Amino acid sequence: MHFAHIALWTRDLEAAAQFWQRLFGAEVTAEYHSRRRPGFVSRFVILPGGSDRIELMTGPWLADPVAGEPVGWDHLAIALGSVAAVDQMAARFEAEGLLLGPPRTTGDGCYEALVSTPDGIRFELTGSSGAHDTNLEEGQRKPEASRSALRNKRSQGLDQDGHQGRPV
């Protein structure tokens, strides 16, 4: 088990990408544009060595710090290594009432579950260490949310995917 990535909200995606390239020699991936959350754009920064990743995220709602997510660190992701491991851990978190978003395949191909610490700090459990989990077969995708997970998310002001009222 290890961190898959850490996510960072930024108002200027290109400037943030150039910062990581220039100062850290990082590789920056192509932009991902969400079809489910209009305006959401992200890129991954891959630090030298290839295993540490930072997801840079932006959206038009960041222009209004009161209405949208704050600029800064958003979440970390822990790579569990397999779809089965994500499903098993998600079940444990659901039993504790801490599952915010059930296992699913995201728009950019990552298999993940959104979970929380008891005091509400969000993080993701992923099936792979990369931005894309290419080892999924059609039968392994789990897009439906359980009722208890939806209740938990709504009570914390989150949408069904565990984001601040907006689907990614």
pLDDT band at 80 (very low <50, low <70, confident <90, very high): confident
Q: Can you list the alpha helix ranges (DSSP code H) found in the chain? A: 13-24, 83-95, 147-155
Concatenate the DSSP letters of all residues of 137-153 into one string.
Answer: -GGG---PPPHHHHHHH
In angstroms, rounded to a whole number, what is the distance separating the alpha carbons of residues 164 and 67? Answer: 10
Q: Looking at residue 74, what is its pLDDT?
A: 76
Per-residue pLDDT averaged across 109-135, rounded?
A: 74
Average pLDDT over all residues of the chain: 78
End-to-end Cα, the chain, rounded Å: 25
The residue count for the chain: 168
Q: Looking at residue 65, what is its pLDDT?
A: 67
Q: Which domains does the chain have, with CATH numbers?
A: 2-155 (3.10.180.10)
pLDDT band at 40 (very low <50, low <70, confident <90, very high): very high
Q: Looking at residue 119, what is its pLDDT?
A: 64
Q: Left, alpha or beta for 99 (phi > 0: left; psi -120 to 50: alpha)?
A: beta
